[in-house]
Structure 1
Amino acid sequence: MSELQQLSQSNIFRDLPSGLLDALLEKGERRTLIDGDFLFRTEQDYTGEIYIVLDGEIVIQRTNGQSYGVGAGDFVGLSSFLDHAPYSSTASSHGRVELLVLPEPLFHKVKKRFPELSTAVNRSIADRIRRWNPGRRGTTGVLIQPVRSFMTVPFAACTGETSLESALNIMRSRKIGSLGVTDDDGRLLGIATPGMIAEAIGLRGADVGQALHECVIDQAFTIGPEDQLWEAEQMQQDYGVKHLVVVDDGLPVGMVSQTDIVRALCMQAQRNILIGRASEAVDLDGLKSLFSRLDECASGALEYNRWATNALRILSETHLAIMRRCVELTIEALLREGLNKPPVRFALLIMGSGGRKEMMLEPDQD
């Protein structure tokens, strides 16, 4: 089997553009290890390289005594590559091993041309998470569905020549929190958000007429349309980002945000628990009955969520749905008593844990 076939059939590089794999194989250096050779050792300084196994197996020995093998088509040295810290484990060859060596500048050069390289890194990270968290609560329900089912489409984008003012107006008119930036061929260059634009203007003195590529574009983290929703959630947690660009066959096709994931989880909860029933309550006794079953909501939220913060948000959304219906029923009761409708549009402001969406089973809302 050729090196190209070996990579393209691996779990990490599957379905990625052949041009990406060709570029890696063309630019990367080959290195051969014989049985027992060390690639790096624990506490050794980062070498400035990342490695891809082309053939054979690398054994990773952790300081706690645990070990695992890395086979063809996967990265070695990923953790230190990401944070530039000394190696936290020892890597040695099991038999003869053929490696593809990518110096960090080369890796970033290839990734700039093929953003899908980030997808391969993310898949490798996800595999490690699954390997070293066997006792973690299993991922079920909506989180095992493909990203394509929940991404926002069409992909909202503009070119790097778009002005800051125009980009902001696009986001405002479409009511979106991020905007993809692409080149003339539609390939992804990065991402822009209102916060980035505000920082460029307010802190760095950028002019509203300046082009995005001059002062705003930030790295976009990507994910594939067939990757599962929990992987998107994990990436957002790992990288501290709110938006992921969904890339298919080298081109951006959609966006998945933290809001999309929370909305999907809320839809799951709505189908199974109480949120949907609150809007159907016909009187305050009905709402009281729903309130008494909040423990069911909490159990369901924990069952379908890997992160306690998301489970807490779903519980809070249930509280808010009950409160919202309570206000509606109160207004209906006042109208039945002969009072007029509210003379103006109004909003109910909730402070404290309710405003932060951190309400638990017995919130102390006034």
Structure 2
Amino acid sequence: MSRPTNLVNSWNEWDPLREIVVGVADNACFEPTEPGHRPQLRTPDGGSAPFPTGPKPAEMIERANEQLDGLVRLLESQGVTVHRPVAPDLASPLRTPDFQVENQYCVVCPRDVMITLGNEIIEATMSRRARYFEYQAYRKLVYSYWNNDPGMVWTVAPKPSMADSMYRQEFWEWPLEERHRRMHSSEFCVTQDEVVFDAADISRFGRDIVVQESMTTNRSGIHWLKRHLEPRGFRVHPVHFPLDFFPSHIDCTFVPLRPGLVLTNPERPLREGEEQLFLRNGWELVDVPQPTSTNDEMPKYCQSSKWLSMNVLSISPTKVVCEEREKPLQDLLDKLGFEVFPVPFRDVFEYGGSLHCATWDVNREGTAEDYFPVNDYRPLAEGPRILG
């Protein structure tokens, strides 16, 4: 296969990595309470103790940056070009015509905001107020690609209002049985009235795009992705994980590592029937082992679950970066034939993710491939197609 010459080229999660963006913890703040998010401390009285506000302490930022820098050194040692965003002022209050928050959040997790689909970069709408303008940290990089790659396509998804009416604020008070009943209709904290999606709810399989319907991506967001991408030759597949009561971002639940292999979460199986796309095409779905930490043992300010353990980053179809404490997962990856690169990353957890979340790959070797020839896909709309 000839190597693509364009700067922007990434069709899946596993092809050999050539260029990537790694986040920074500079200027990070504690994420505020808002209709789309209710942060809580991981302490015995976490449900009632107040969550901190304002800028994070300097020593906390330094620890996270040290581990982010360690990931950069590893990637560069593997021949990967790494870029970093520049964090803007995040501590000042933010106000739009429809909402206000006391501060923004951080720019540690570019995966949540930005996604590369072939030769196209898409800026997601985002689903939380404190992250509304997070894309600004990446604009300088995007303009560099735009100015230097004439084949690049740059798309900015429509920004939602994030007004009170966009949210089901009662969602956070539903008892477990009510939440379970409603989630089968995918009723979460975001309503269906506006286009809403985080980029990290998307997983890329060449011509096929898998999108999780969740607290951070609604059906309107998935419909926008279908209308935008299907005329360009992609096939968009909504997926659901009905035992996940707070679904947000697919990369702690369903993680492809190479053609034919997906790491799966034993506590969050796919909705019955949705696994058939993979099984009919010979894919193996492998449950990961239990993480080394329980949810209660996660870092004090972390809002993600213990399943950050499976938030790994593929350097190639044979090389995977894994958090250093997750020895059971490392052993499984070794048995599956991967070369595993353990790195410390636990101090990054409280910024919204782990290794996959903290990165945004812009260039991987390879081209558009059809990994699902047995496919009942029906295009939403016909139009010009860019895939070969």
| Class of the TM-score when normalised by the shorter of the 2 chains | under 0.3
TM-score of the pair, normalised by structure 2: 0.24
TM-score of the pair, normalised by structure 1: 0.25
Q: Name the structure where helix makes up a greater proportion of residues.
A: 1
The answer to which structure, 1 or 2, has the higher relative contact order (CA under 8 A, 6+ apart) is: 2
Q: Which has the larger radius of gyration?
A: 1
